[in-house]
Structure 1
Amino acid sequence: MDVATTRTAGSRTRLLTQDGIVDALLALARETPRAEVSIRMLASALGVTAAAIYRHFRDKDELHRAAVDRLYGEALSRVDRSEPSWRLRLARYSDALAETFLEAPAIGQLSPLVDGRGIGELASLDFIFEALEQAGLSGQRLIDAYGAYAGHTLAFAAGMALELSRESAPGSSVPWIGMLDAESLAPFPRLVRLRGDLLEMDTLVVYRAGVQAILDSIEAG
């Protein structure tokens, strides 16, 4: 059921569903990327009371777990599962995860803090392991590669979402290094030489470089 139906129905509380509440939460997170979406804001958007929402979710943490899980599922849906290359599938998934987190940064930044293990996250885990097994990994090497890839993508994508939520112009690229004072760098000749290049880096470029380095390591065996 969509949010509009919930708003206009005569018996609003009965017509609420968990999916509809999560839909509304993510819609608000995408509309107001720099602000936390409060239960009051969510209830107002749905045309119900906060108590009505809490009849479907025990608390705000449970609601956030459901919303983060939805982002995992959305990221996975953007990957062409028929792509024969395990490497290209994982590279695309890492991009898709960052995209979904950055589209709704108030929710994406919460991902390392919740451990819901819902269907979206579980499907994503299975997808990653499928690709890594296709790369020829098994046993401890499989687990280690998963830890490196999943740890980097989750923590970094969430960090980018957090940084974006703090920016004055949401949607713009976020620099990896905000400032390097030339005078402070004077004793460090390498930093003086590289200062311009460092200031031109943005977080998404660094994120992708990390993914590629991990995939290179896996491919090299």
Structure 2
Amino acid sequence: MTTATSSDRSKEQRPPGGRVRLDRQTIIATGLELAAQPGTTSISVRELGARLGADPTAIYRHFRNKEHLMQALLDEVIGRSVAAVTASPEHWRDRLRQLAESTLDLFAAYPAIGVEAIVLTTHGPGELDAIEFMLDAFSRAGLSGDDLVRHYALLASHVLSSAAGIARGRSERGWNADATSPWLEGPILADPRTYPLISSFGAQLSALEDRELFLLGVEAVIQSAERTARADA
């Protein structure tokens, strides 16, 4: 059994006149394929058009501009992050942990898309699902009103920005998407007379790993939600 490549699919979509029939989902799927290529840290509309077997300008018939395209790609990835959660709603802590981990894993798989989370809001169904998901989890934790909204915003900010940064860093250094990488690159060289604490904790600082710190931040938000809910009870 053989698997059709994106170029094969493009040929299948090409009518007798030589024009390629594009739709949003085909463009998004091919954009994900491009973003998954090792070393890809940005999406080129020209290269995307070449993969689709179409003039790049044809993409703009479905997306107003490149930002609109990147919003759609990011929304697809965020939606997949939510869909990857398997814990039941009453297990709100596990659901938040799973959402955070799936977001990091998918951003690492598609770093050129994940990095856009730092600057883009999609307003799409994937993002709305993620917002509703986190609000529901913190509601089940016993939070309400401003406390609920602030904990949602804190977790969303941490997960999106940290996952995007980790994914971009791994990609630029050529590390595997699923590899754990050091938080600091190389040992910290500092004069102990000027920086005694850095010298004292140098080994521990060098041992820090990006995924470990990412998940530690998630746990800090979960614990804050628990403390706040108890204080309000």
Q: Which residue is 2:56 aligned to?
A: 50
User: Corresponding residue for 2:183?
Assistant: 176
Q: Tell me the distance in 2 between the aligned counterparts of 1:116 and 1:142.
A: 22
Percent identity of the aligned residues? 29
Q: Name the aligned partner's letter for residue 6 of structure 1.
A: S
User: May I ask how many residue pairs the two structures share in their alignment?
Assistant: 220
Letter in 1 for 2:14: G
Query: What is the CA deviation profile of residues 70-96 of structure 1, one whole-angstrom value per residue up to 9, with x for unaligned ones?
Result: 011010111015253101100110111
Aligned twin of 2:231: none
Gaps of 5+ in 1: none
Aligned partners of 1:33 and 1:165 also within 8 Å: yes
Deviation at 1:48, TM superposition (A): 1.0
Q: Which of 141, 145, 150 is residue 139 of structure 1 equivalent to?
A: 145
Q: 188-197 or 73-82, which moves further after superposition? A: 188-197
Equivalent position to 1:104, from 100, 110, 114: 110
Q: 1:86 aligns with which of 89, 92, 100?
A: 92
Q: After the TM superposition, which parts of structure 1 deviate over 4 Å for at least 4 consecutive aligned residues?
A: none
Instruction: Provide the rounded CA distance (Å) in 2 between the counterparts of 1:206 and 1:110.
Output: 21
Structure 2 residue 129 is matched with structure 1 residue 123:
yes
- Structure 2 residue 230 is matched with structure 1 residue 216: no
Indicate which of 191, 197, 200 corresponds to 1:193. 200
Paired position in structure 2 for 1:9: 13
Give the TM-score normalised by structure 1.
0.92
Classify the secondary structure of the residue corresponding to 2:147. Answer: helix
**More displaced, 63-72 or 175-184?**
175-184
Farther-moved stretch of structure 1 (132-141 vs 45-54)? 45-54
Which segments of 5 or more consecutive residues in structure 2 lack a partner in the other structure? 229-233
Measure, in 1, the Cα distance between the counterparts of 2:181 and 2:11: 37
**Are 2:160 and 1:154 aligned?**
yes
Q: Give the secondary-structure state (helix, strand or coil) at the position aligned to 2:142.
A: coil
Single out whichever of 198-207 and 123-132 deviates more from structure 2. Answer: 198-207
**Secondary structure of the corresponding residue to residue 109 of structure 1:** helix
Distance of 1:14 and 1:188 partners within structure 2: 62
The RMSD of aligned alpha carbons is 1.9
In 2: Cα distance, 1:78 partner to 1:188 partner = 44
Output the CA distance in 1 between the equivalents of 2:79 and 2:90: 21
Does structure 1 retain, via aligned residues, the 8 Å contact 2:75–2:122?
yes
What amino acid does structure 2 have at the position aligned with 1:32? Answer: P
Partner of 1:166: 172
The whole-number CA distance in structure 2 between the counterparts of 1:185 and 1:59 is 52
Distance between the aligned counterparts of 1:210 and 1:74, measured in 2?
Answer: 22
Deviation of 1:198 after TM superposition, in Å, equals 1.0
Change (3 A) 1:22 1:211: same
- Offset from partner CA, 1:85-120 (integer Å, 9 cap, x none): 101100110111111101000110011211221000
| Contact map agreement 1:94 1:153 (CA 8 A) in 2 | yes
Distance 2:209 2:22 in 1: 41
Distance 1:47 1:14 in 2: 7
Aligned-partner Cα distance in 2 for 1:167–1:59: 29
Question: Does 1:206 pair with 2:210?
Answer: no
1:8 maps to a residue whose letter is E
Change (3 A) 1:178 1:186: farther
